Structure 1
């Protein structure tokens, strides 16, 4: 087999694989329809946890759930799936709230480092940040 034919077959095979993944939903990003869906998804992994409030981000990809006692549940979409975490101040490396209502969260967890989460309401962002421990002096030093 000549090299140009082999290269054409490889390129065609890769393009066909990418198209198959895309058209079967592999590039779809999951979103949360509402707070109830976030509660149900969180309860699948943590059925014994009692949730006080749920706050969704503006893009509906993440929900922060107030669990009390300095703990916060997180439901976050990655691809077409959701991951769930329970975090406390000891799990957080850095935390900040910007002027536009976004939380910048960096976690010590090597499987998910956190990210930037934008809320439609700046009050929600501030409330979630305080629940995560924004008023903790250790986090204030590390975020600076």
Structure 2
């Protein structure tokens, strides 16, 4: 078999594989429909926790859940699945908020944080306040 024919076969094979993954739903991103879905998803991983307020991002890809004492839970879509985590005071490296956007960095190498846009400024302020409490606790320690 000649090299050009082999190259064409490899390229077509890769293209068909990528198309198959895409058309079978492999490239979809999970979204949270409402606060109840975020609570249910969080409860699957942390059944003993009792979250308070829930704030969803504008795109529905993330939710922040208030936990006592001085903790915050995050439900974040990663592909078609969800990552859930509890953020404690010592986890937050940096925090910034502006209008309806909250950005933060975590000390964890498996997930560094991100930039989260909320539908309104009230949600962003509430999340920033919850995370800022964590940030202040870290600096005091």
- RMSD of aligned residue pairs (Cα, Å): 1.4
Deviation at 1:115, TM superposition (A): 0.4
Poorly superposed stretches of 4+, deviation over 2 Å:
none
Describe how 1:42-57 pairs up with structure 2 within 5 A. Answer: 42-57=42-57
Structure 1 unmatched ranges of 5 or more: 140-144
> Map of 1:122-141 to 2, 5 A cutoff?
122-133=121-132, 136=136
Could you give the per-residue CA deviations for residues 1-46 of structure 1, whole angstroms, max 9, x where no partner exists?
1001100000000000100110111110110010000000000000
CA shift, 1:68, in A, is 1.6
Q: Aligned ranges for residues 21-60 of structure 1 at < 5 Å?
A: 21-60=21-60
Distance 1:20 1:62 in 2: 28
Task: Please tell me whether the aligned partners of residues 89 and 137 of structure 2 are also in contact (alpha carbons under 8 angstroms).
Answer: no
Number of aligned positions between the proteins: 138
- What residue is the counterpart of 2:100 in the other structure? 101
Q: TM-score, normalised by structure 1?
A: 0.91
The alpha-carbon deviation at position 137 of structure 1 amounts to: 7.9
2: CA distance, partners of 1:89 / 1:119: 22
Q: State how far apart, in whole Å, the 2-side matches of 1:103 and 1:86 are.
A: 17
Provide the rounded CA distance (Å) in 1 between the counterparts of 2:44 and 2:101. Answer: 27
Alignment-derived partner of residue 87 in structure 1: 87
TM-score, normalised relative to structure 2: 0.93
Q: 5+ unaligned residues in a row in structure 2: which ranges?
A: none
Q: Note closer, same or farther for the CA distance 1:137–1:88 as it changes in structure 2 (3 Å cut).
A: closer
CA deviation vs aligned residue, 1:64-115 (integer Å, no higher than 9, x gap): 00012110000000111100000022100101101x3100111111111110
CA distance in 1, matches of 2:89, 2:24: 40
